[in-house]
Each structure stands twice: as structure tokens, then as C-alpha cells.
Amino acid sequence: MSHNFRLMVFSGSANLDLGQEIAQYIGIELGKVKLHRFSDGEIYVRYLESVRGADVFVIQSLCAPINENLMELLIMIDALKRASAERISAVIPYYGYARQDKKTLAREPITAKLVADILSVAGIDRMISMDIHAGQTQGFFDVPVDHLTAVPILADYFQEKKLENLVVVSPDVGRVKTAKRYSDRLNADIAILHKTRPAYNVSETTHVIGKVKGKVTLLIDDIIDTAGTMVGGAQTLKDHGATEIYACATHPVLSGSAVEKLEASLIKEVVVTNTIPVPQKKWIKKFKVLSIAPLFAKTVVNVHEDKSVSELLGGDDQV
């Protein structure tokens, strides 16, 4: 290794199973840390082993309850800084608030930038994340950002299914570039849905650009939140003659009645990753969860050893 300081991995409470899996793939024990909630909701953090001079990676997804998980991460970072860690990397598989990446109306915040500023002030030296909703969020940080993608993992799963007459479907024009990555890996055509948002967390799909009649379709996205985009898109594809409809996304936010919508939808299978844990109460037979732990484990090791991260994604397949 190129550093004399040791590698340590800790996990917040948002996705402890993923943290343990990443540490297992690396071949080390997950670091010991005490996380406590006082009766008024304040968060207490204390590391139960020395981190002085260590290269520390803190794993925490910014999923629900997002504000508690964000605050817990900030306090973990602050404790590391005050305990003289040599380098602190925030490993954030799901970067919450990323959809608030620009102003579209007067007097709106750019919360994705605000979160980046808060993390930087807290003391991180690097941020590692996966399929951030808007690529420009990387530029909100003044520290290095390693931006991973789950496209190879998800595409390889569907490649093994050997689906014939497959068309990759982008849910809107904003995901066309990602759809192209899927289509290249799956040797499939592309179609695009025309989507509008009349209100927050509400989407309407009306038109299809491309041929889907008589085809097996794969509807892709980065996030499944309320599932309105996926369910509405599936109905539109069926109305335009698609024979089978599959769906995949990196982040299973699954808020509100998303699970019930997906259960009743025309989608045959919904494939996601474990950037966000899917609790048992939200589990349905249509779900397939793929692990991103091996990719994050390799990324942590390469960052620690000052090796290339992009080569883990095929050289230039970062977003």
C-alpha cells in the first residue's frame, strides 16, 4: 500500500447491513462506534477504538429519515476530525436532496449544494456516491468526488436473462444518456417517454418516442420514489403495444404508497440495488435487490491505495 496509515471503515445506522457487507468484501472488521439518541432526539457518537492517523471511510445513505441520517453522518465526521483521523471519506451510496440541484422557480433553495457545503465544513476530504440524480452535484463539492454507477450491475443482470426484442426505455429526456449506457451493454434499441410534472411527486406520461410495439421493454431510472413515473410509464408502454415490461433503478426510496402501486402495476419485475435498505414490510415478490457492496469495497480499497476508480467501471463509464 502507498500509505503508512491504516484503513478503517465505519457505518452509520441508515444501512448497517450494507456497511457490514462492504467491510466483509474488503476483508476487515467494521469499526466499532457507539450511536445513541437522547430522549429529546439529539444524536451522540463516540468511536470505541482509536482512529488517530487512520484513513477512515464512513458509510451512510441519506435515506429516510433523511434529516436524522444526515445529522448522524455530520456528527460522525466531526468526531473523527476531533479524534485526529488522517483522512475522512464520506461514502454516501444514496445522496439525498440531490433532486434539488437548481432553481426552477423564484426564491427556491439549491439544497444539493447546501448539503455539499455542510459536509465539507464538517471535515470530509472526499465523497464517494452512486448515481447522483444530477451529475452537476459533483461540482458542488470542493473536495474530490468519486461518482459510481450501478448501470453495469443492473445491465448484467438483464443480460443474463437473455430477453429477446428488448428495448431500453428512458422515463424522460433527462435519462437518455443513462439509457444509452444500458442499450450499449444489452445491444438493445432505445425509446423515450414524454413526461410532465404538474406537481411535486406527481408525473404524467403521455407519449412514446421510438418503437415498443411487440417488444420487451426495460424501463430505467435512477430513483423509484412514489413509483408514479414507473407505473405511469408502464401503462403507456402497454398502451403502445409492449408485450412485457421490466423496470430497474439504483435507489429504492419507495415512499408513500409506492409499493402498493408497483404491486398492482403492469411491471413484471422491479430490480433495484441495496443503496437503500428495503424493509420486510415493503417487500413484494416483484422485487429483486442486487448488491453494490463489491463495487464500493473495491472503490474504498483503490482510494486508500491511490489507484484508479474509473477502471472499476470500465475506464470511462462514470456519470
Exposure letters 242-274 (e unless 16+ CB within 10 A, then b)? bebbbbbbbbbbbeeebbebbeebbbebbbbbb
| C-alpha dist (Å) from residue 228 to 106, 150, 173, 223, 308 | 26, 22, 17, 11, 38
DSSP string, the chain: ---SSPEEEEE-STTHHHHHHHHHHHTSPPPPEEEEE-TTS-EEEEESS--TT-EEEEE----SSHHHHHHHHHHHHHHHHHTT-SEEEEEESS-TTTT--S-SSTT---HHHHHHHHHHHHT-SEEEEES-SSGGGGGG-SS-EEEE-SHHHHHHHHHHHT-SSEEEEESSGGGHHHHHHHHHHHT-EEEEEEEEEEETTEEEEEEEES--TT-EEEEEEEEESSSHHHHHHHHHHHHTT-SEEEEEEEEE---TTHHHHHHHSS-SEEEEETTS---GGG--TTEEEE--HHHHHHHHHHHHTT--SGGGGTSS---
pLDDT for 3-32, tens place per residue? 568 999 999 999 999 999 999 999 999 999
Average pLDDT over residues 41-69: 98
Count of other CB atoms within 10 angstroms of residue 75: 17
Q: Which of 195, 215, 261, 298 is catalytic?
A: 195
Cell matching residue 179: 439509457
Domain covering 151-290 assigned CATH 3.40.50.2020 in the classification: yes
pLDDT for 82-112, tens place per residue? 999 999 999 999 999 999 999 989 999 999 9
pLDDT for 301-319, tens place per residue? 999 999 999 988 875 554 4
CATH number of 7-150+293-313: 3.40.50.2020
Average pLDDT over residues 292-301: 98
d(CA 100, CA 114): 10
1: pLDDT strictly greater than 50: no
pLDDT for 173-219, tens place per residue? 889 999 999 999 999 999 999 866 555 555 566 689 999 999 999 99
Cell matching residue 312: 472499476
Note the pLDDT of residue 5: 84
Note the pLDDT of residue 203: 55
pTM: 0.93
Cell matching residue 279: 424493509
pLDDT for 224-256, tens place per residue? 999 999 999 999 999 999 999 999 999 999 999
Say whether 288 is catalytic: no
* C-alpha 79 chain-centroid distance: 25
How high is the mean pLDDT of the chain? 94
Among residues 163, 208, 206, which one has the least CA distance to residue 183?
Answer: 163
The ranges of the chain annotated as CATH 3.40.50.2020 are 7-150+293-313, 151-290
